[in-house]
Amino acid sequence: MSPTTQSAYSQLEDVVGCKWSVSVLRAIAEGVSRPGALERHVQGISTKVLSERLRKLTSYGLLAKQVYAEVPPRTEYSLTENGQKLVRIIDQLKLLDVEIKRTET
Amino acid sequence: MSPTTQSAYSQLEDVVGCKWSVSVLRAIAEGVSRPGALERHVQGISTKVLSERLRKLTSYGLLAKQVYAEVPPRTEYSLTENGQKLVRIIDQLKLLDVEIKRTET
């Protein structure tokens, strides 16, 4: 079988193509940093999907996880430098999406 | 059911999240403009998937289609202004993807 096309950005493809990942990144960019608050902020996301996305985005180096040794322990997420770069790209996609819909109607 | 999160860029989500759409856009950006040449250039893409993606990308206003009344008729695709904007964003995603893989290892 002839070699098939690889994705131009294999790791980011399933991030930018996933509304939950994008919504979680944008919420954290807006300062929502704790899992409980994220679940309330990103409407419709389940606890399972949220924790999967947080784990994936952290493993990709887009989020940093901070655990505070309190009782109960407090966990906070923040954007890494690469996470901030991605959110800026996502914002460009959002503007272009509005532009495309505007020129279509 | 509580309202669920909408995609930040509903139309572009399935473009940037699809390796075939991204590969077709990048090939056209490199000057490969005719369907036959695109099918050879984007390795592994089927005729059916290629024509679907060309139709979708054109309907989104990302590609312009030009048909020349020759025998047989000649068809060429080019990036619209929005198409060029998207390719620039895709290039940023590609660079960030390389950066993420670099910082992971």
Q: Could B89 and A89 be called an inter-chain contact, meaning their C-beta atoms sit closer than 8 Å? A: yes
Report the SS3 class of residue A65: strand
Question: CATH assignment of B10-104, given 1.10.10.10, 3.40.50.360, 3.90.25.10, 3.40.50.300?
Answer: 1.10.10.10
- HEC profile for chain B? CCCCCCCCCHHHHHHHCCHHHHHHHHHHHCCCCCHHHHHHHCCCCCHHHHHHHHHHHHHCCCEEEEEECCCCCEEEEEECHHHHHHHHHHHHHHHHHHHHHHHHC
Cβ contacts of residue A101 below 8 Å, gap of 6+? Answer: B11
Directed axis angle between helix A19-29 and helix A47-59, to 10°?
A: 70
What pLDDT is recorded for position B105?
A: 57
Q: Could B101 and A11 be called an inter-chain contact, meaning their C-beta atoms sit closer than 8 Å? A: yes
Tell whether B105 is within 8 A of chain A (Cβ): no
Higher pLDDT, residue A82 or A11? A82
ipTM, two decimals, is 0.87
Q: Is the pLDDT of residue A9 over 90?
A: no
Tell me the pLDDT tens digit for each residue of B61-87.
Answer: 999 999 999 998 899 999 999 999 999
Tell whether A56 is within 8 A of chain B (Cβ): no
Task: Name B75's bridge partners.
Answer: B67
Q: Is the pLDDT of residue A4 over 90?
A: no
Tell me the nearest-neighbour CA distance from A73 into chain B, angstroms. 27
Taking CA–CA distances from B12, the nearest residue in chain A reads A97
What pLDDT is recorded for position B7?
A: 81
DSSP A66: E
Q: Which residues from B are below 8 Å from A93, CB to CB?
A: 8-9, 12, 16, 89
Measured CA distances, B3 to A42, A44, A45, B14, B49 (Å):
10, 7, 11, 21, 33
Residues A60/A15, Cβ–Cβ less than 8 Å? yes
Name the pairing type of β-strands B63-68 and A63-68: unpaired
Tell me the pLDDT tens digit for each residue of A17-69.
Answer: 999 999 999 999 999 999 999 999 999 999 999 999 999 999 999 999 999 99
Tell me the nearest-neighbour CA distance from B71 into chain A, angstroms. 32
Tell me the mean pLDDT in the region A71-89.
Answer: 96
